Amino acid sequence: MRAEAAAAPAAGRRFPIARAIAWWRLGSGLVLATFITLHLANHALGVISIDLQEAMREWISPLWHSVPGTALLYGAWLTHPALGLYALWRRQTLRMPRWEAAQLLLGLSIPLLLIPHVFGTRVAGAMLGHETTYVAVITGLWSSATSLVRQPLLVVVAWLHLLVGLHYWLRVRPAYRRHFAALVPVALLVPALALLGFYGAAAELRDQGNLPPAGTRAPAAAAPMDADGEAQRQRLDGLRGDAYAAYLAIVASVLAARLARDRWARRGGIYRIFHANGRQIVAPVGQSVLDALRAAGVPHASVCGGRARCTTCRIRVGREATLPAPGALETQALSRIHAAPDVRLACQLRPERDIRITPLLPPHVGAADANRGGVPGREHRVAVMFVDIRESSRLGEQRLPYDVFFILNRFFAEMSDALRATGGLYSTFNGDGFMALYGTSTDIARGCRDALLGAVAVHDGLRRINAALAADLREPLRAGISLHAGDAIVGTMGPPQQPILSALGDTVNVAARLEAETKVHATPLIVSADCAAASGVDLSNYPLHTVTVRGRAAPVSYHVVTDPFALRPLIDAAEKSRPIAATA
């Protein structure tokens, strides 16, 4: 526990840096996406006329040529590739899903295609003192056979990289999935219209006699330059070559640094992963479980690519394992799905000792499963509460259906508040009652005491309802509550779109049978002896009875509690004599 407590602050310190890097990468990518989309939309106007292209360029240019626009654009051009290379360096293995490989290769190739375009337009315009109009750019590109291949390729590569990045950022969001079919045609039309616009503008210039055959220089362009112009041209070519060399050197340095880091990592020790499929995987300490599985060629789910944006890579870890405490990113992701304490994210977990793991989702799950709560059923000790309204059928006979709906909704609103205040988790609803679980994220002693407090809170809520509706109810609402504790299979059940956390097993059956006993004794609360013993609350002064439950050989013992509010001092006394440490 001390090691986990010490690790938590360190994780907290890393979290702002990791989040800042993620936001910088996303923000710079969105700036570039905006620029590219506007740029291609401008190109697309060439389908109509080059004058329309020029009109839109004159409207957009001030935005990007202003001091803030230039700083934003060129800051994004520098930041986004730099963070991409940083991500490449941090990646523990080059084995990755196809979409990640495509995004990486497309991103690495963009600067190689972009450098000639940037130096041939904006840099050339600044050095040679001429404006980069559409006429000048199209004429320049048309005069080079290489440019006629490279420029369309740049459009396609940059747009594909943009689409892959946006898609794998947004695909875990339900709204994006709902509108995906409508967005696909738009994504295909933008680059297609941009290329058609380029060729449409070129055809217009050719019809005007201002464009030579493809791959040949226009007469004006072929005219000899003066000495200063030629010097500037040579300097431009030199700078373009230096940009190529610098970029290739940076990429080579990153790859070399990865190699050196991997060799050094082996000196820090190894850990073994004992996979549920029977395989044993060896990985260096410091490598995440997800990267270790990928390096070993073991398929494993990861919709977001290992960025803790989803929970599809989640695994159950053997209870005997001693693990580093989860960082803030992992804690935040797991809390969204109410994951059990033995569930971790493979992309974030970096063990230092051998572990046994069981993947909790199939390797090829989709985006719809990204943040779907819960895990497959697991055995866990919980406290189970059943609540049922007494004589609810008579309520329906005496009132109109709308009135019954109003009363029941008021009842369930109060019950929801009671559960929330005492740590209970609503599980199932059966018309005039419900089942709740306690102790799903705490130990059984804490869960049972919370369940007793929950029973008191439920009756307190009933008292408020009866006071508020005294003029409308012929008889006050009454409810029977049963509490039992023991082992159950806890997990999510129900339709995939609306799963709920529930429980199955003998403990649940016994709790349901005890709720029926509240009618036999005409009492508001029954607490099983097992629940009372686990809670540490002394109920020895309450009558003890037994009942035989179908399918169970041994009888079940339980206490009959006629006044739930009298439990409060007993619970307080138990807390003082046997305090329970809070569990996160």
Q: What is the pLDDT of residues 263-313, one digit of tens each?
A: 776 676 888 998 887 788 888 888 899 989 988 888 888 887 777 878 888
* 18 has a pLDDT exceeding 80: no
- Per-residue pLDDT of 454-469, as tens digits, reads 999 999 998 998 888 7
At 288, give phi and psi (nearest 5°): -70, 160
Taking the alpha carbons of 561, 564, 569, 572 in that order, is the dihedral positive or negative? positive
pLDDT score recorded for residue 523: 94
Indicate the pLDDT class of residue 483, thresholds 50, 70 and 90: very high
Q: Is 183 exposed, middle or buried (0-12, 13-18, 19+ CB in 10 A)?
A: middle
pLDDT score recorded for residue 220: 45
Average pLDDT, stretch 145-151? 84
Q: Provide the b/e sequence for 229-263 (b: ≥16 CB within 10 Å).
A: eeebeeebeeebeebeeebeeebeebeeebeeeee
Cβ atoms within 10 Å of 89's Cβ, excluding its own: 13
Rounded to the nearest 5 percent, the helix, strand and coil shares of the chain are: 60, 15, 30
Q: 380: which strand partners?
A: 488
* Higher pLDDT pick, 489 / 157: 157
pLDDT score recorded for residue 478: 87
| Residue 220 host element (H or E) | helix 219-222
- Per-residue pLDDT of 382-408, as tens digits, reads 999 999 987 665 655 555 566 677 777
* Domains, the chain, ordered by start: 2-263 (1.20.1300), 270-369 (3.10.20.30), 378-577 (3.30.70.1230)
* 138 has a pLDDT exceeding 80: yes
Indicate the pLDDT class of residue 359, thresholds 50, 70 and 90: confident
- Per-residue pLDDT of 168-227, as tens digits, reads 888 777 788 888 889 999 999 999 999 999 888 888 888 887 776 665 555 444 444 455
Contact between 546 and 555 (Cβ < 8 Å): yes
Amino acid identity at 575:
E
pLDDT score recorded for residue 249: 94
Closest C-alpha to 518, from 455, 458, 457, 560: 560
Joined tokens for residue 25? 């990468």
* 248 has a pLDDT exceeding 80: yes
* 330 has a pLDDT exceeding 50: yes
Q: Is 1 exposed, middle or buried (0-12, 13-18, 19+ CB in 10 A)?
A: exposed
Least trusted range by pLDDT, from 124-133, 249-258, 403-412: 124-133
pLDDT score recorded for residue 14: 43
Contact between 312 and 361 (Cβ < 8 Å): yes
Closest C-alpha to 312, from 560, 97, 93: 97
- Per-residue pLDDT of 67-110, as tens digits, reads 998 899 989 988 999 988 888 887 777 777 787 888 889 999 99
Indicate the pLDDT class of residue 126, thresholds 50, 70 and 90: low
- The percentage of the chain sitting over the pLDDT mark of 90, rounded to a whole number, equals 30
Which residues have a Cβ under 8 Å from the Cβ of 344 and sit 6 or more positions away? Answer: 289, 314, 315, 317, 323, 326, 330, 334
Indicate the pTM of the whole model: 0.54
How far is 108 from 100, CA to CA, in rounded Å?
A: 12
* 16 has a pLDDT exceeding 60: no
pLDDT score recorded for residue 5: 36
CA count, 13 A, side-chain hemisphere, 426: 16
SS3 letters across 497-518: CCCEEEEECHHHHHHHHHHHHH
Least trusted range by pLDDT, from 87-91, 112-116, 368-372: 368-372
* 420 has a pLDDT exceeding 60: yes
Distances (CA, A) of 208 to 50, 86, 187, 204, 364: 12, 49, 33, 6, 56
Average pLDDT, stretch 469-477? 77
| Tokens 């992309």, residue located | 347
CA count, 13 A, side-chain hemisphere, 424: 32
Contact between 495 and 368 (Cβ < 8 Å): no
> Taking the chain, what is the end-to-end CA distance rounded to the nearest angstrom?
12
- The distance from CA 417 to its chain's CA centroid, rounded to whole angstroms, is 28
Closest C-alpha to 443, from 367, 520, 353, 383: 383
3 state DSSP class of 281: strand
Contact between 434 and 374 (Cβ < 8 Å): no
Average per-residue pLDDT for the chain: 82
